[in-house]
Structure formats: C-alpha cells, structure tokens
Amino acid sequence: MYRTTMHSPELLKGSLQTIILKLLADNDRMYGYEITQKVKELSGGKLVLTEGALYPTLHKLEAEGFLKTEKVHLGKRVRKYYHLTPVGKNSVVQRIEDFEAFISTMFKILSINPQLG
C-alpha cells in the first residue's frame, strides 16, 4: 500500500481513505505533504505514505464530495489545503465504526484477545 516497515503491506489496503479523513477531522485543514509527515509521526515511522497513493486518493475524495480545497500561495509555490465537507465529517464517524467492526470480526476469527495496546 503506502509503504510500511511492517511485514504485510497488503493489510493496509482500504484504510488509506479512513486515515486521511480522520486526520482532517482532527486538524481542520492540511496539505498533502503535511499528511505524509503526520502519518509518519503518529505511526512512529511504521507507515510512510507514497505520493502515488496519496494524491490520487485526495483527488478522489474531493471528487466524491468529502473534501474541499483552497489554494494558498507561498512565494511562487502553491500549496493545496484540504478540509472536510459536512458530508466528509459524517463519513469519518461511519468509517471509524466500520473499521472497529472489522477489527472486532477479525479478532474473533483470529482468536485474538482485544486488549493489545
């Protein structure tokens, strides 16, 4: 997926949108590069987003109405800030619930006790 130092990158498939939406729910507005750095920080370096995964996903979430953008000029450079739309805000709650349901089901199948930290 988005490059990881863990052994099974496939596991992460499908969670990138959830990660992005959650970060934007916590931080009001962020730009692409900032998201990659925040993920690296929060995961203790275990998760490193590639741009090839990030930007197409941001564009898709925007096209689907979950995100809005505003361009900010910094000297000659243009930075694109993303923030949640009202629809986006609702979907964050839903997606985290879905993720928790998924984990709960996987714990049952894999016989994992639900108190790992």
Partner DNA sequence: GTGCGATACATTGGAGTCTTATGTAATACG
Partner DNA sequence: CGTATTACATAAGACTCCAATGTATCGCAC
Binding site for its own copies (CB under 8 A): 6-15, 18-19, 22-23, 26, 39, 42-44, 46-47, 94-112, 114-117
Nearest to its own copies of 63, 109 (CB atom):
109
The DSSP line for the chain is: ---BSSS-GGGGTT-HHHHHHHHHHHHS-EEHHHHHHHHHHHTTTSB---HHHHHHHHHHHHHTTSEEEEEEEETTEEEEEEEE-HHHHHHHHHHHHHHHHHHHHHHHHHT--TT--
Q: Give the x-and-dash track for 57-86 against DNA (CB under 7 A).
A: xxxx-------------xxxxxxx------
**Of the two residues 1 and 25, which places its CB atom closer to DNA in the complex?**
1
Which range binds DNA by CB under 7 A, 21-29, 52-60, 91-99, 105-113?
A: 52-60
